[in-house]
Amino acid sequence: MKVEYLWKEGVHFSAKGPSGFPVEIDGPPDIGGRSRGIRPMELMLMGIGGCTSVDVMHILRKARCLIHSCRTTITAEREDADPKVFRQIHIHFELMGEKLSDSKVSRAVELSAEKYCSASILMKRAGVEISHDWTIVSRGENESAKHSSEILRPESTLGMHHVALLSSRYEETREFYTELMGMDIEWEPDADNVYLSSGKDNLAIHRRSSNESSVDSRLDHIGFVVSSESQVDAWYQFLKDHHVSIAAEPKTHRDGSRSCYVLDPDETQVQIIHHPPLTESLR
């Protein structure tokens, strides 16, 4: 990792790292600064806070928690004499969301503190005392918080009626679903892909490529059907606004369908799709 500092004036610098975002750093007037940027020791605390906050949020989302708000407050004590290093740092998380519990938050904080947060672990190894605690805030304590019942979703989907499978035995799998299960071939664009239907569903079978591990999941994705192309775009924007990971932006496909892909907390691909024949059968 490499960061660069560009001097501007006095003790004012502009710093930039591999991510490309600039950070302004400056000192107080008594050492030649004009207070036009962050103090270096403040920046160190911000780095610790950012590192552990990202960890905790990621771990809680993996635990299927829906986070509405997260506030991380860091307080620190420094030695009185130069070099005035930190001697104690306390990190407090204030969280609001669904499916949160003390056990889940405790586990997330512990994993960040002991395994993942490079910044705080570095400080701990240097002899700084680091402590953590947290508060799970209820709606009654914070009336401005969002509840899932108040989330303004786009028009309801028509349900989950689409599944896509990856098959290492493509011909046998195709025969199983057509000859034995009685599904009709809706579209077969090439020798490696076929789309089947029983009337109000859609099953895609894709030949697994030779470079895909056989131990990988056979499930490629699941799909929620929506009523129109515009609803694909509306759901995409809604999920993006709620910080859901995007796998593929909305796109119109060769068969006339339009879809986008997102990832659930376990990183299963979820497709939001308008597929005219299937949509009409579900109306």
> For the CA atoms of the chain, what is the radius of gyration?
26
Torsion sign across C-alpha atoms 110, 62, 100, 53: positive
One digit per residue, the tens of pLDDT, for the chain of length 283 reads: 999 999 999 999 999 999 888 999 999 999 999 888 999 999 999 999 999 999 999 999 999 888 888 999 999 999 999 999 999 999 999 999 888 888 999 999 999 999 999 999 999 999 999 999 999 987 554 443 333 334 567 888 888 899 999 888 889 889 988 888 888 999 999 999 999 998 888 999 999 887 665 545 578 899 999 999 999 999 999 888 888 889 999 999 988 899 999 988 767 889 999 998 888 888 6
Distance separating alpha carbons of residues 100 and 169, to the nearest angstrom: 42
39-145 classified as CATH 3.30.300.20? yes
pTM check: above 0.75: no
CB 145 within 8 A of CB 268: no
Question: What percent helix, strand, coil does the chain show, rounded to 5?
Answer: 30, 35, 35
Torsion sign across C-alpha atoms 49, 54, 55, 56: positive
Protein fold of 160-282 = 2,3-Dihydroxybiphenyl 1,2-Dioxygenase; domain 1 (3.10.180)
Numbered ranges of CATH 3.30.300.20 in the chain = 39-145
Of 93, 91, 85, 102, which is closest to residue 131 (Cα–Cα)?
Answer: 91
**Which ranges in 190-228 belong to alpha helices (H)?**
none
What pLDDT is recorded for position 151?
55
What pLDDT is recorded for position 148?
38
Torsion sign across C-alpha atoms 142, 53, 17, 9: positive
Numbered ranges of CATH 3.10.180.10 in the chain = 160-282
